[in-house]
Structure 1
Amino acid sequence: MAERVRRPDPHVSVERDVLVRYLDAWTATVLRSPRGGTYVECGDFAADAFRVFGEFADRLGDHHLEAVLVGRPVPPGGAPAGLAVRTVADLGDVRVPGPMLAHLSDAGPPSLVRGKAHEVLLSAAPGTDHRERLQAAGLGCVVAVDLVADDGTARALVFATADSRHLATFKTELWAADEFAGIRYRDPRDAEGALVDISLTPQLLPLRRALLEELDRRGSRTVAELQRFTLLETIYRAEDAVGALTAAVAAGQLTREPEKGRLGSRTVLSAS
């Protein structure tokens, strides 16, 4: 009998995909900065990160980019030329003064997380709320999304940064992940726990509910303000707000000023 091939964990597959996609954008950014950057890996994705860094091999020699591997050896094949690598036994031993992206299995020590140029991507048990701790450490832009497999098992993925532009970039990569990996997204703040397929054009009903609830709480808001809310408080991208709001207006759930025309950033919306 042929040996059964073990399927990869879909949670890990999507986490790796999202990390690699965002790491590519992050590396391009730090290599444009004279400060360089440091990548901290606490899991098993060092080889994946090194492949990303290898795509920038022609630029590594002229910029400072360092990889810190925590409790892991350098993967087979080694590091691309020009990448500084060090290994440490414990995450508490890591000190990074400049720009940093860390892939963690929990929130990590405050000394590591704290810093305007520090960003973290961490996996955690669903229902674990790291938002307050991360925001208290100075990372005010946080998104948490549950990765839910076909069998119902879930793992939370949390990203935190001090820069809303980087949060927008992360969400772009989040929705561009492998749609056939066997994972759907769930917003832990969605009271109905709706599952949404990974797609560049995702289903927007959970966002529509969240926006209506925000308008019930806060009163009239411009489209720009609701896009900002979408970016900072939901798993969706800012641009997704327009589609959700347009549907709500068409359904008579919202009134708008001015009454006609496309929804622009200054259009004011109110609950009907």
Structure 2
Amino acid sequence: MANPRIAAVRRELLVRYLDAWAPAALHRSRRVTVALAHAGEDDGGLAEGALRALAEFDDLLAGRRLTLVVLTATDDGLAGRLDAVQRALRTPPDLAVHVVTGEVGRLPAVLAAAGAAGAPTLTVLATADRPAPAPAAFAAFAAGRAAEALLLLGDPARTALDPRAVLRERGHPLVTAVELVADGDVELVAFGTSSGRGLDAFKDAMWAVDEFAGVRYRDPRDPAGHLLDVSLTPHPGPLRRELLAHLAATGPGTVTELRSFTGTETVYRPADTNRVLTALLAAGLVTRSPEHGRLAGDVLITPTAAPAEN
């Protein structure tokens, strides 16, 4: 059974990202699809949270079609619960909800039946404490136009799946991942997109979730495994170390290149890069060229010392 604290965080993360993604998708297309597939008996409130978030945009639905497809491994009354939410919220007919019972491997076929092809699509695959699905299920991540994918997995120590490789192989060159840690339990979240704006929006949603007691983030690529409190201004220590290590390994880089590294290779937001670089410059651990002026994207950053040990 999923840790309830972690379940609350990933539910809010999905809702916050939908708040940014759905209106943008509706502005550029007359058809938009959100697909959620989960392998357990309980999705931790993901489907209901997604429906409530999407219902907020009924004013944008004139002449458009917004579809929520939920693929559930077991018939646990989810269809009835979502129908009750629709009645309570009086959702318009242009917001369609389809619940399908079946294994997550059916996701590509379900998306095809829902008419996701050619339209903006966000695919969410939640396996919680179940084993990772067969690779065939991930074909769904390439469905639609301007497709984006969110993986909500169980403990990464119990799965051989490399989510970054899976997402990139399915057409999502910009990938980020974070571990949710609470009470000794760990769940992995990975997000893939081809849009820099989409990556920024996901990172913003990730750090804007309400602080839940006992739930912290961990960068899967941080060798020290430092835990980070969820905050709009996260502790910069791990990013400081990662930027210094990256510069030591690759040599000088522009601010734009370092922001890209932060966005895809760490749990931090690209915007956090400038804050950390300013501190590194003040400490004399890096230099910049030109020496003065705004820390713009074309400013070249050069390391002057080895990464600190602490």
2:247 paired with 1:219:
no
Using the alignment, how far apart are the partners of 1:78 and 1:60 within structure 2?
18
Q: Which amino acid aligns with 1:87?
A: V
Match of 1:120 among 139, 145, 149: 149
8 Å contact kept, 1:14–1:181: no
Identify, as 1 or 2, the structure richer in helix.
2
Measured in 2, the distance between the counterparts of 1:181 and 1:228 equals: 31
Equivalent pairs: percent with the same residue? 41
Q: 1:78 & 1:197 partners in 2: Cα distance?
A: 33
In the superposition, the TM-score normalised over structure 1's length comes to 0.90
Matches of 1:244 and 1:110 in 2, distance apart? Answer: 36
4+ runs deviating over 6 angstroms: none
Q: Using the TM superposition, give the Cα deviation of residue 143 of structure 1 relative to its aligned residue in structure 2, in angstroms.
A: 0.9
Q: Aligned letter for 2:55? A: G
1:77 counterpart (71, 81, 84): 84
Cα distance, 1:261 vs structure 2: 4.1
In the alignment, residue 120 of structure 2 is paired with which amino acid? P
Q: Tell me the SS of whatever aligns to 2:177.
A: strand
Please give the per-residue CA displacement for 1:24-60, whole angstroms capped at 9, x wherever unaligned.
Answer: 1111012112342111122432211121122112232
Q: Which ranges in structure 2 are unaligned for 5 or more consecutive residues?
A: 73-77, 305-310
**3-state DSSP class of the match of 1:73?**
helix
Q: What one-letter code is carried by the residue in structure 1 that aligns with 2:154?
A: A
Superposition deviation, residue 111 in structure 1: 2.5
Q: Which residue of 2 aligns with 1:104?
A: 125
Cα deviation for residue 76 of structure 1 reads 4.5
8 Å CA contact 1:185–1:198 kept in 2: the answer is yes
RMSD: 1.9
SS at match of 1:191: coil
1:229 to 243, 257, 261: 261
- Structure 1 gap ranges (5+): 1-7
What does 1:1-272 align with in structure 2 at a 5 Å threshold?
9-43=4-38, 44=43, 45-71=46-72, 72-74=78-80, 75-79=82-86, 80-81=91-92, 82-90=94-102, 91=104, 92=106, 93-94=109-110, 95=112, 96-97=116-117, 98-106=119-127, 109-115=137-143, 116-127=145-156, 128-149=161-182, 151-272=183-304
Question: What's the CA shift string for 1:110-154, capped at 9, x where partnerless?
Answer: 3211145221212113434211111011011111100111x2321
Sort the Cα spacing of 1:181 and 1:37 in 2 relative to 1 into closer, same or farther, 3 A.
Answer: farther
- 1:5 is matched with none
CA, structure 1 residues 171+28, in 2 after alignment: closer, same or farther (shift >3 Å)? same
Shift of residue 155, structure 1, vs aligned partner = 0.9
- Distance in 2 between the 1:240 and 1:264 partners? 14
Tell me the amino acid that sits aligned with residue 57 of structure 1: D
**C-alpha contact 1:35 1:99 (8 A) present in aligned 2:** no
How many corresponding residue pairs?
Answer: 264
Matched letter for residue 38 of structure 1: T
